[in-house]
Chain A
Amino acid sequence: MKLLERLAKIDRRIIFLLVGLAAIIPLLIPIGLPVDITKPVQNVYDTIESLPEGSIVVVSVDYDPGSEAELYPATLAFIEHCFRRNLRVYMMGLWPAGIALGNDALAEIAPKYNKEYGVDYINIGYKPGGPVMLLTLGRSVADIVNADYAGTPIDSFPLGRAVKTARDMSVVMTFSAGDPGILHWIIYFNARFGNVICGSTTAISAPRQYQYLASGQLIGLLGGLKGAAEYETLVDRKDRAIAGMDSQSIVHVLLVIFIIIGNIILLSERRKK
């Protein structure tokens, strides 16, 4: 069939154009597909809901601008949830480029809830050293942290004085795009100090974390933009992730159509032979 022959030789730029349109049109004309909540995401939400007011939540921003599209909406939704529950946010990062993004998130959400820097939230900045740093941090925060990200002595902040060891950290939430990330927190914090670890990661890395969910080392997981959209739904925050779900759905359907067409072409070529 001539149509199939033409499709077999289709210029890949037409495929790119169709994907582009499938991504852009739902952003301009939202469909409003319902976002279902999966258990790993629900577990993260329930963990935060169960914390008493004033509990300290470590937010570790372990990604760089390349993963911002997937992980930044999740960061915003999670921080909003913490502030709404009057939990205290103790931000840090294992990746240097993540701190600026974490600061942006705090700057966006904190004023909405009248949260005060140093009392309700703090950013201690990028901490290099991976495993050794995490082990030392859990034993004695003062051995690793003497100032916040801007260089102000940590003891000048009430929240800075309140965190002395891993026992003072109720939950660790890591937004992780690779290594160091979720695995480091599991091995060097959960295994050593028993802290509850929750994670958010890119869609491509999410399958790798399921084994830690199964073993209970990871309590909950936000996987990719869909995970972020689920969390936005749970905290009732309509933002980029939910907006992106219509686009993502249509693009995925389009990919399935491409796959079906590709296999029809294969069948037709086999028949000809």
Chain B
Amino acid sequence: MKRTIPLIIVFGCGIFMLISFFIPLRWVQDTSQLLQTWYLGVIAFFVFIGIANIVRVNVNKIQRKLADWQYSIILLVFLFVMIGAGIFGGPEGGLFNYLFHNFQIPLSATMFSLLAFFVASAAFRAFRARNPEATLLLIAAVLVMVGRVPVGYWIWHGFPDLVEWLMQVPNTAAKRGIILGIDLGLISMALRVLLGIERSYMGGKD
């Protein structure tokens, strides 16, 4: 029963959502919309579950003085300050805005900028002509890297056009092939989940 009821719900809701794509009747579309709204409501509720989990884990860390417990204090302080600033001052409030513009934005941008450094170390380590396919990847990567910046245009005026062709023809064709394969895999997995053949996402015996 513990697994049967969820499987019935998965099958019923899944088939209904699939069929609703083809049936324009008002009650079908309204029900489909209702199910999606319920999902959004559940997601909103789970925000509290997430916050509760963060608080529980970090309070436990502080109480037991586990490694780096001091950082947990900082995390909890900022968590509640930001929540308070948002609730009492609103999203346009002074403190919330200040924290968003002076902490959130620069920190996110900093983490994103790490990519530049990591691309360099990955390129040095991994872009080696070990076999014909790797050589092809290497040549394409070098051409695109040089052609997509002003220095490529400075070296040869036709460089950007060559790179545009690479992006519009071979790259687009390959991406389309990969995406088609992905979507077919998705359909196959969706059917397995709908029919209850695939159950390991629920945990326990298959």
Contacts and interface: CB of A to CB of B under 8 A. Distances in A.
Touch between A and B in complex, CB under 8 Å? yes
B192 interface: no
B140 to A, nearest CB: 11
A210 B146 contact: no
Interface string A247-258: 011111111101
B116 interface: yes
A16 B120 contact: yes
Contacts of B73: none
A163 interface: no
A34 B138 CA distance: 26
Given A16-B120, A19-B120, A213 B168 contact: yes
Interface string B127-165: 111100000001001100110111101100100100010
A36 B97 CA distance: 38
Given A69-B113, A100-B97, A210-B172, A34 B127 contact: no
A211 B176 contact: yes
Contact of A16 (B40, B117, B138, B142): B117
B121 interface: yes
Given A36-B153, A66-B109, A132-B36, A262 B128 contact: yes
Contacts of B121: 12, 15-16
Interface in A30-77: 33-36, 38-39, 64-69
A36 B168 contact: no
A97 B36 CA distance: 23
B109 A259 contact: no
B26 to A, nearest CB: 15
A35 to B, nearest CB: 5
Interface in B39-67: 40
B160 A255 contact: no
A161 interface: no
B27 interface: no
A180 to B, nearest CB: 14
A213 B175 CA distance: 14
Contacts of A254: 120
A118 B97 CA distance: 23
Given A19-B120, A245-B150, A252-B145, A207 B171 contact: yes
Interface string A2-40: 000000001010011011100100000000011110110
A33 B150 contact: yes
A226 interface: yes
A263 B138 contact: yes
A259 B108 CA distance: 29
Nearest to B97: A100
B101 interface: yes
A245 B149 contact: yes
Contacts of A208: 175
A156 B121 CA distance: 55
Contacts of A256: 142, 145-146
A1 interface: no
Given A15-B117, A65-B109, A263-B138, A255 B149 contact: no
A23 B149 contact: no
Given A210-B172, A255-B120, A263-B128, A38 B160 contact: yes
Nearest to A99: B91
Nearest to A96: B91
A132 B124 contact: no
A258 B123 CA distance: 7
Given A100-B101, A210-B171, 12 more contacts: A19-B116, A33-B153, A39-B164, A100-B100, A208-B175, A210-B175, A211-B175, A229-B150, A252-B146, A252-B149, A258-B123, A266-B128
30 contacts: A15-B117, A15-B121, A18-B120, A19-B117, A23-B116, A33-B149, A34-B154, A36-B150, A36-B157, A39-B164, A65-B104, A65-B105, A69-B112, A203-B148, A207-B175, A208-B175, A210-B171, A210-B172, A213-B168, A214-B172, A224-B148, A251-B116, A252-B148, A254-B120, A255-B123, A255-B145, A259-B142, A262-B123, A263-B129, A266-B129
